[in-house]
Every structure is written in C-alpha cells, then in structure tokens.
Copies of this chain bind each other. A is one copy, B any other.
C-alpha cells in the first residue's frame, strides 16, 4: 500500500511514543515493544517505526541496542542545543544597530599559554586581534582573538578595520572541529574600560578554539556585556 492520508507517519509515531513516556505509561527503563510489533500496532512498515525511534534516540529520549531492544532513558540525557549566533545577528535580533570597531591587530610570537593551549611550537607566529562589538553605542562584546598564521597565511593580508575577524574567518576558512567553553570571569581594568562596567564585575565569557583537520586555526575569548544571558529551550 502506498502513502495516503490515513497513513501513519513517522512523526505521528514520535508523538505517540513521547506521549506514552510523558504520561508514565512507559516509565524510565521500560523496554519498548520491538520495531516489528510497533509496526503492526501503527499499521505501517518497520522502516517507518525505525525512523521514528531512531530520531527519538538521537534526541536523547530512548536508548537503542541491537538485540537488547529499545528502552526509555532513565535520566533523559537531554542535550541543549545552542545555536551560536553571529554577533551581528544577535545584536540586530534585540533591535539594536550593530557596530564594529577594531582595537588592535598585530603579528607576534604566540605567548606560552597560547602555544600550550593550541599545541603550537614555541614562538610560532600568531596574529593577535582585539575588537569591540556594539549595539548602538552600548558595548556588547569584547573579542580577544589569536589566529595561527601558519594555518591561515592569508590573514597577513586581511584588513580587519571593516570586517570582524570572525566574519572574515567564516568566509575564508572552513573548519572541522570546535571546542566551546563558557565561564564567568572578572573584569580587569582593561576589560572594564572596554565594556564600560566597574572593575571586578563578573563577565560572562565564551572561549572558542577552532581546528582545521587537526591544525589549530584560532583561539577567541569573547567577553559579554553586563547582564548577558545565553538562553536555550529544548
């Protein structure tokens, strides 16, 4: 039989399974009927059941193991998905006017802590770029970035006075691997000046390391203005 209006779709199955989990009908650790049985129940093929259950497992509701079957996860390992927005988009989403300003850009040998962090050879050349992102005239983010020149030689010709290093990199270098860290740091004198907050103020901070096929490309520290909150729903 082919797909008609009365066909059970994989989305319906997902919904139904979720409802049963949430209603407590299928408690945590419960073993679900196997795909074949569910296919009979939903009057569809095993393929369709498979897709529904596979996606629910991806989303962290179920655990599936060959031969062992499918069971409801006890502590739903729900994973928050943060879509890291581009600064410009984030500013404009709040109704602000995005403005960018370059603070400094210079080539220098990598400081020891950076060399250690990125597994560089000591003294390897990096471009150090510092810049500000504003929402209107209010500081939004201070960006402190290092770019490994050997990995992105074109960076020596780049002009960061009009375009932010992140935008430039996104356009220029693909990447394979990102390590993202969130933390709370304290505003030192310099940072306090840039962000226009009192010295010692807690500052929400994101660190981002980007690799291209095992080669370190860039390390960025992004300091957000006071009161910044990173939110996600799931």
Contacts and interface: CB of A to CB of B under 8 A. Distances in A.
Question: How many chain copies?
Answer: 2
A178 B78 contact: yes
Categorize the interface residue count of chain A. Answer: 35 or more
A209 to B, nearest CB: 9
A152 to B, nearest CB: 13
Q: Which of A76, A77, A84, A182 has the most CB of B within 10 A?
A: A182
A184 interface: yes
B213 A184 contact: no
Interface in A217-233: 228-233
A205 B184 contact: yes
Nearest to A89: B75
Contacts of A75: 86, 170
A230 B86 contact: no
Given A22-B213, A84-B78, A86-B75, A230 B174 contact: no
A80 interface: yes
Contact of A179 (B77, B202, B231): B231
A82 B171 CA distance: 26
26 contacts: A22-B174, A22-B175, A22-B176, A22-B213, A24-B174, A75-B86, A75-B170, A78-B84, A79-B81, A79-B84, A80-B83, A80-B180, A177-B233, A177-B234, A180-B233, A181-B230, A182-B229, A182-B230, A182-B231, A183-B230, A184-B184, A184-B228, A185-B202, A186-B201, A201-B202, A202-B203
Interface of A: 21-24, 28, 60, 74-84, 86, 170-171, 174-186, 200-205, 212-213, 228-234
Given A82-B82, A181-B231, A182-B182, 4 more contacts: A22-B212, A23-B174, A60-B83, A179-B232
